Amino acid sequence: MKKINMEMRRFFLGITTACNMDCTYCFVNPTNEVMKIRSAKKYVKYFLSSGGDDKLLYFYGGEPFLFPKLIQEVDSFLVEEAKRRNKKTSVLIVTNGTLLSEDISDYLKKYSPKLMVSLSGTHDSHDLFRKIKGETGSFGRITENLKTFLRLVKEKDLWVSYTIHPKMLDNFYKDLDYLLKLGFANIHIEPVQFTEKVHWNKYQLESFEKTIEKFFGQIQKNIEKGIFIFNSKIIRDIEIMFGIAPQDDFLYSVYNNLRAWPGDRLAFSHFLINLEEKRELPNDIAENYGKSIEIGRSGSKKARAGERVWGIYDAQCRKFAKDVMIKAQKNKQFQRYIKECLTRAI
DSSP string, 170-229: GGHHHHHHHHHHHT--EEEEEE--S-TT----HHHHHHHHHHHHHHHHHHHHHHHTT---
Q: Once rounded to an integer, what is the mean pLDDT over residues 291-304?
A: 45
Q: What pLDDT, on a 0 to 100 scale, did the predictor assign at position 2?
A: 45
Q: What pLDDT, on a 0 to 100 scale, did the predictor assign at position 217?
A: 97
Q: What pLDDT, on a 0 to 100 scale, did the predictor assign at position 5?
A: 59
Q: What pLDDT, on a 0 to 100 scale, did the predictor assign at position 269?
A: 60
Confidence band, pLDDT 50/70/90 cuts, at residue 252? confident
Query: At 311, which CATH number?
Result: 3.20.20.70
> pLDDT at residue 291 above 60?
no
Higher pLDDT, 67 or 295: 67
Question: 31 lies in a domain?
Answer: yes
Question: 2 lies in a domain?
Answer: no
Q: Which long-range contacts (CB under 8 A, 24 or more apart) does 282-288 make?
A: 284/2, 287/2, 288/1, 288/2, 288/42, 288/46
> pLDDT at residue 209 above 90?
yes
Question: 30 lies in a domain?
Answer: yes
Q: What pLDDT, on a 0 to 100 scale, did the predictor assign at position 257?
A: 87
Domain that holds residue 166: 10-343
Higher pLDDT, 250 or 88: 88
Alpha carbon distance 118, 95 (integer Å): 6
- The answer to whether the CB of 265 falls within 8 A of the CB of 291 is no
> pLDDT at residue 305 above 60?
no
CA quadruple 311, 316, 319, 324: dihedral positive or negative?
A: negative
Higher pLDDT, 195 or 224: 224
Question: 1 lies in a domain?
Answer: no
Alpha carbon distance 323, 313 (integer Å): 15
* H or E element, residue 92: strand 88-95
Q: Where are the alpha helices (DSSP H) in the chain?
A: 37-49, 68-85, 102-111, 123-129, 139-152, 172-182, 202-224, 232-241, 249-256, 283-289, 301-304, 307-327, 332-343
| The pairing of beta strand 278-280 with beta strand 292-294 | antiparallel
Question: 252 lies in a domain?
Answer: yes
Alpha carbon distance 190, 319 (integer Å): 18
Alpha carbon distance 87, 11 (integer Å): 15
Q: What pLDDT, on a 0 to 100 scale, did the predictor assign at position 251?
A: 81
Cα distances from 257 to residues 57, 67, 144, 269, in angstroms, run: 11, 23, 32, 6
Q: Once rounded to an integer, what is the mean pLDDT over residues 14-33?
A: 91
Higher pLDDT, 266 or 286: 266
pLDDT 10s digits, 130-186: 999 988 899 999 999 999 999 999 999 999 999 999 999 999 999 999 999 999 999
Q: What pLDDT, on a 0 to 100 scale, did the predictor assign at position 4?
A: 53
What does pLDDT average to over the chain?
88
Q: How many domains does the chain have?
A: 1
Alpha carbon distance 257, 301 (integer Å): 22
Share of the chain above pLDDT 90, in %: 73
Question: 4 lies in a domain?
Answer: no
pLDDT 10s digits, 66-92: 999 999 999 999 999 999 999 999 999
> pLDDT at residue 300 above 60?
no
pTM of the predicted model, to two decimals? Answer: 0.90
| Phi, psi angle pair for 196, to nearest 5° | -75, -15
- Angle at the Cα of 190 (from 211 to 9), degrees rounded to 5? 125
Give yes or no for a cis peptide into 62 (omega within 30° of 0).
yes
Question: 59 lies in a domain?
Answer: yes
Question: 53 lies in a domain?
Answer: yes
